[in-house]
Amino acid sequence: MAWRRFTLKDQSFFAMFSASADNLVAAMETFGSFVRDTANREELGQLLRDHEHAGDSVTHQIYRQLNSSFVTPFDREDIYRLAGNLDDVMDFVEAAADLIVLTGLGTLPGEMNQQVELLQRAAQTTAEAMPKLKTMRGLSDYWIEVNRLENEADKIYRRLLSRLYGGGYKALEVMKLKEVADQLEEAADAFEHVANVIESIAVKES
């Protein structure tokens, strides 16, 4: 029956959201290596940019599909916000990497490595949650965990600022490191924004 074809919800968004989240997992793994391996940052930075381009490509696919789909699996505004927030994570991480290279930073403070580890865990948790969008079941543990990780990231960020302003670093280095730390904090916030959108979707669909 022809009318059924027009009332079926477009299922392609689920695969694209999973692809976007999986790309973030790979990007965070690369970024972890980038932070630790000071000798190969140029090569790892290029790989990170490749992940950023891949993420942009998926985001644009989602937007194009959104414009051409008659019936979407959930609100169009929520699809747009979810895609944008996933893309924001990648943008903040790439900005952090660029700042590290452009400002000539070497070994980074331990707290910054902890920030990266939390981002890696948030990425993995997010990727594991994406397939559950199809049924909207079992997602509450996901957004609770991401919110917990973001709170932990806030604590680490504050400890890092305390260390930077504690007198052990020169003023210029403090400025450089804080710029990077700010981008990583924004990335953690963006993961929480993703979780908040998914929680909102789940509430609407329940």
CATH number of the domain that 164 lies in? 1.20.58.220
Tokens 């052990």 sit on residue: 168
Domains contained in the chain, number: 1
pLDDT for res 205:
84
| pLDDT tens digits for range 83-142 | 999 999 999 999 999 999 999 999 999 999 999 999 999 999 999 999 999 999 999 999
Tokens of 88: 């924001």
Cα separation, 32 vs 118, in Å, equals: 11
- Evaluate whether residue 3 is within a structural domain: no
- Evaluate whether residue 50 is within a structural domain: yes
Domain that holds residue 44: 10-205
Cα separation, 112 vs 39, in Å, equals: 18
- Evaluate whether residue 2 is within a structural domain: no
- Evaluate whether residue 30 is within a structural domain: yes
- Evaluate whether residue 72 is within a structural domain: yes
| pLDDT tens digits for range 137-166 | 999 999 999 999 999 999 999 999 999 999
- Evaluate whether residue 4 is within a structural domain: no
- Evaluate whether residue 1 is within a structural domain: no
